[in-house]
Amino acid sequence: MRKIRPWPLTLTLYSLLFFCFIYLPLVVVIVFSFNSNVLDMASWESFTFDWYLGLFGLREVAPSQGTSAIYVESTDQLLNALKNSLIVATFTTIISTTIGTATAIAMARHRFRLRGTYQGVMMLPMMMPDIVLGIGLLIFFITLGFKLSLLTIIIGHCTFLSSYVFIVVQARMAGLDPALEEASADLGANEWVTFRKVLLPQLMPGVVGGAMLAFIISMDDLVITYFIAGTDSTTLPMFIFSMIRRGVKPEINAIATLLILASLIIAGAGLYLRSRRVE
Amino acid sequence: MRRQRLFLLGLLSPVTLYLGVFFFGPLAIIAVFSVLEPGLYGGVEWNFYHWNYGRIFGWADGVVEWYEPVYLKILFRSMLMAAFTVIACLILVYPVTFWVSRLPQRAQLFFMFLITLPFFTSLIIRLYAWLVILKPSGLINDVLLGIGLIETPLDMLFTRFAVVLGMVYVMIPFMFLPVYSSVERLDRTLIEASGDLGARGWQTFLKVILPQTLPGIAGGSVLVFIPSVGNFIIPDVLGGAKGLMIGNLVEQQFLDARNWPFGAALSMVIMAVVLTVMLIYATKIVRAGQRIGEV
């Protein structure tokens, strides 16, 4: 084996720049959340914690601007939106993990006529543009007389998140040895016992991974939620979206920073655990 | 044997019922609505009405509905912007995948982790960050003005450029992961053989490296193109009036114009574009990839 020529230095530099580019926007938001400039958040004035304090109602911010009411009001709305998002994500995760896992097991352990069709159909909800699914669900719910609420959001999220869970669990299934389940059956265990005692414990990392993915995507979904949320079921991404649309308030940087940190910690921990398991 | 069948039925019926009702139901109802007559006050009349498509494709003659070329124009523009996004993603990502693929195992895992991590932070916040960076008083203009490269702030926000930039930024992981997985599997002996047989660097690249990574490139392109072409959040936040895409038109029909049948017809068009791309991918490109794999 001949020694491979090392990459030119320019490639290394370019790659490092590329990774800076990926993180630049996140860094900008975090830095500017400490900017005291009320009128124009994008130009730096001086360091302040005010937006964070204002967010939790600990400090009345900038009453001279005549906008102090905004902060108190939006903190309640913010917490309410966060609560809605957590409710939706929790139920969505439970339902879509159940459906996705059951389907993945069926596909891996059983031979049946429509297997290829099911495999293809499971890809469809992920590939369907969000907006098509969103308006489809909207017309569907309205035509059938559903009242738009948190429930309709949960139903909508599960249609595409079941497929995400399916993919993750299926990948895990592929690495399992069916001989263990056969042995269990040979030793007299019925399907249910084999499932509970042999298959499920081995499958768990995949199920947890799929559930985490479903939770994160559900927390973050905006497009589908946007169409099928009722007036009193604003979720966190919708709240931020409408804040941006109405004209940006300085405190949004603080909200964004907290959210970035929360998701980086959760996702970081998840990905780290997974990579550890691979080693 | 009978118990087995029962177990299979138990495993498959949740997904069958769920997708049957809540996925295929909505798709079917879009198709039905797209050929219904819009009611006067935002409702719908249950009559067959092909003028929704006539407005888009040109046979509405001005008696019942008008043909409006702007819809086709925006459709093509959306496809073009999605294509630009694909190409820009690929150019940005391709060299980096080669760099990462030769790092030690641990470092590879670390950089893969860095690529996927932003994907888990809120989409709307990442877009908002670009709003802050691109606006006239934003970071880029501050820097450019500061070093004296420009004298008046550039108008970058609310342009098509801003929309494509935002889409590229959001879609990078979808391009990176498939391309990386095919670059990682490159057969190094073939590259060496090509060099030994006298091929120049660019010949080796065109004849050996590129064909081997084509499956990854094609897969990534489909994964980037499809969410881009129907997107409406990114053009909404970064595009303004100049950066409108077909997804924004659909949204307007539902929330402002309240012409649901026409909005349904527009989204049928988006769906047709997406299904065509998937079909081309499934028949042509996957097969071509298999052929290359056999060699």
Reported as a single tens digit per residue, the pLDDT across B222-265 is 999 999 999 989 999 999 888 899 999 999 998 888 899 999 99
Query: For the segment A7-34, what is each residue's pLDDT rounded down to a tens digit?
Result: 889 999 999 999 999 999 999 888 888 8
ipTM of the complex: 0.89
- Minimal Cβ distance to B15: which of A103, A130, A275: A103
Residue B294 scores a pLDDT above 50: no
Reading the block at residue A136, the tokens are 């489809």
pLDDT for A64 equals 44
Question: Which range among A133-147, B59-73, B152-166 shows the weakest confidence by mean pLDDT?
Answer: B59-73
Q: Quick one: average pLDDT of A141-168?
A: 94
A111: alpha, beta or left, given left = phi > 0 and alpha = psi -120 to 50? Answer: beta
Tokens 């053989």 locate to B193
When pLDDT is cut at 50, 70 and 90, the band that residue A181 belongs to is: confident
Mean pLDDT of chain A: 85
Q: What is the pLDDT of residues B195-210, one digit of tens each?
A: 888 888 888 888 888 9
Question: In the prediction, which pLDDT does A252 show?
Answer: 81
Query: Is residue B119 within 8 Å of residue A31, measured between CB atoms?
Result: no
**Mutate which of A13, A22, A34, A164 to disrupt the B interface (most B C-beta within 10 Å)?**
A22
pLDDT at residue B291 greater than cutoff 70: no
Pick the more confident residue, B204 or A37: B204
Q: Are B90 and B228 in contact (CB under 8 A)?
A: no
When pLDDT is averaged across residues A232-245 and rounded to a whole number, the result is 89
* pLDDT score of A14: 95
Q: What single-letter amino acid sits at B286? A: V
pLDDT given at position B295: 39
Which is it for strands B36-38 and B44-48: parallel, antiparallel or unpaired? antiparallel
Tokens 């990392």, residue located: A205
Determine whether A142 is exposed, middle or buried from the number of CB atoms within 10 Å of its CB (0-12, 13-18, 19+).
Answer: middle
Asked if the model's pLDDT at residue A44 lies above 80, the reply is no
State whether A26 and B100 contact (CB < 8 Å). no
Q: Which residues of B touch A268 (CB under 8 A)?
A: 113, 117
Tokens of A188: 């007299």
Query: Residue B119: is its pLDDT beyond 90?
Result: no
Q: Provide the pLDDT for residue A99.
A: 97
Give residue A55's pLDDT.
Answer: 74
Token digits of residue A237:
């991404």
Interface test with B, best of A101, A132, A258 (most B CBs within 10 A): A132
Structure tokens at B45: 């009349």
Output A70 or B132, whichever has higher pLDDT: B132
- B45 forms beta bridges with B37
Question: DSSP character for B236?
Answer: I
Distance from C-alpha of B276 to C-alpha of B287, rounded to nearest angstrom: 16
pLDDT interval class at A60 (50, 70, 90): low
B156: phi then psi, degrees, rounded to nearest 5 = -100, -35
Percent of chain A with pLDDT over 70: 87
CB contact under 8 A, A98 and B14: yes
Band of residue A42 on the pLDDT scale cut at 50, 70, 90? low
Per-residue confidence (pLDDT) for residue A68, from 0 to 100? 45
In angstroms, rounded to a whole number, what is the distance separating the alpha carbons of residues A94 and A82?
Answer: 18
The 3 state secondary structure assigned to A203-228 is HHHHHHHHHHHHHHHHHHCCHHHHHH
Q: Looking at chain A, which residue has its C-alpha nearest residue B33? A: A139
Find chain A residues with C-beta within 8 A of B109's C-beta: 275, 278
Q: Which of A96, A98, A89 is nearest to A200 (CA)?
A: A98
Q: How close is the nearest chain A Cα to the Cα of B147, in Å?
A: 16
Give whole-number Cα distances, B23 to A123, A136, A148, B254, in Å.
12, 8, 17, 19
Do you know the residue count of chain B?
A: 295
How far is the alpha carbon of B33 from chain A, nearest alpha carbon, in Å?
8
Cβ <8 Å between A29 and B125 = yes
Nearest to A29 among B19, B116, B129 (CB): B129
Between residues A47 and A45, which one has the greater pLDDT? A47
Q: What is the pLDDT of residues B45-55, one digit of tens each?
A: 888 988 889 88
Q: What is the mean pLDDT of chain B?
A: 88
Question: Would you state the pLDDT for residue B142?
Answer: 81
Reduced to 3 states (helix: H, G, I; strand: E, B; else coil), residue B61 is: strand
- Asked if residue A214 lies in contact with residue A93, where contact means CB atoms within 8 angstroms, the answer is yes
Q: Which of A24, A135, A260 has the CB atom closest to B250's CB atom?
A: A135
Task: Find, in chain A, the residue whose alpha carbon is nearest to that of B248.
Answer: A131
A50 or A41, which is more confident: A50
pLDDT at A137: 96
Residue A39 DSSP SS3: coil
pLDDT band at A73 (very low <50, low <70, confident <90, very high): low
- For B157, phi then psi, to 5°, come to -70, 150
| Domains contained in chain B, CATH given | 69-294 (1.10.3720.10)
Nearest CA to A236 among A68, A87, A31, A69?
Answer: A87
Whether pLDDT at B149 is above 90: no
Q: How far does B20 lie from chain A, in Å, by closest CA?
A: 10
Q: What is the mean pLDDT of residues A144-172?
A: 94
Q: Which chain A residue's Cα is nearest to B191?
A: A4
- Inter-CA distances, A165 with A16, A207, B122, Å: 33, 7, 19
What single letter denotes the amino acid at residue A193? V
Torsion (CA) B101, B108, B120, A124 in degrees, nearest 10: 40
Confidence of residue A274 (pLDDT cuts 50, 70, 90): low
pLDDT bracket for residue A84 (50, 70, 90): very high
A107 vs A95: CA distance, rounded Å: 19
Per-residue tokens: A262? 């929360």
Residue contacts between A and B (CB atoms, under 8 Å)? 225
The distance of B243 to chain A (nearest Cα, Å) reads 16
Taking every pair of C-alpha atoms in chain B, what is the biggest distance, in angstroms?
Answer: 79
Residues in chain B with CB shorter than 8 Å from the CB of A100 are: 15
Distance, first Cα to last Cα, chain A: 27
Phi then psi dihedrals of residue B113, to 5 deg = -60, -45
Is B123's CB within 8 Å of A133's CB?
Answer: no
Q: Which residue of A has its CA nearest to B245?
A: A131
pLDDT recorded at residue A46: 79
Partner-chain contact A23 B251, CB within 8 Å: no
What is the distance in angstroms between the Cα of A201 and the nearest Cα belonging to chain B? 18
CB A32 within 8 A of CB A252: no
pLDDT category, A56, cuts 50, 70, 90? confident
Q: How far is B100 from chain A (nearest CA, A)?
A: 8
Contact check, Cβ <8 Å, B128/A256: yes
pLDDT exceeds 60 at position A61: no
Question: Rounded to a whole number, what is the distance in Å from the CA of A68 to chain B's nearest CA?
Answer: 23
Q: Average pLDDT, stretch B142-165?
A: 87
**Mean of the pLDDT values across residues B64-72?**
86
Residue range B73-102: average pLDDT?
95
**Which one has a higher pLDDT value, B214 or A175?**
B214
Contacts with B4 from chain A: Cβ below 8 Å: 110, 191
Spatial distance between the Cα atoms of A78 and A252, rounded to a whole number of angstroms: 11
**Angle, alpha carbons B115-B119-B121 (nearest 5°):** 125
Q: Going from the N-terminus, what domains does chain A have, and what CATH number goes with each?
A: 72-278 (1.10.3720.10)
- The winner for highest mean pLDDT among A4-8, A46-50, A89-93, A169-173 is A89-93
pLDDT value at residue A223: 92
Instruction: Tell me how far apart the alpha carbons of residues A195 and A181 are, in angstroms, rounded to a whole number.
Output: 8
Cα B79 from chain centre: 9
DSSP A177: -
Residues from chain A that touch B100, judged by Cβ atoms under 8 A, are 15
| CA of A233 vs chain B CAs: smallest distance (Å) | 17
- In A, minimum Cα distance to B132 occurs at A42
Confidence at residue A16, expressed as pLDDT on a 0 to 100 scale: 94
Residue A69 above 50 pLDDT? no
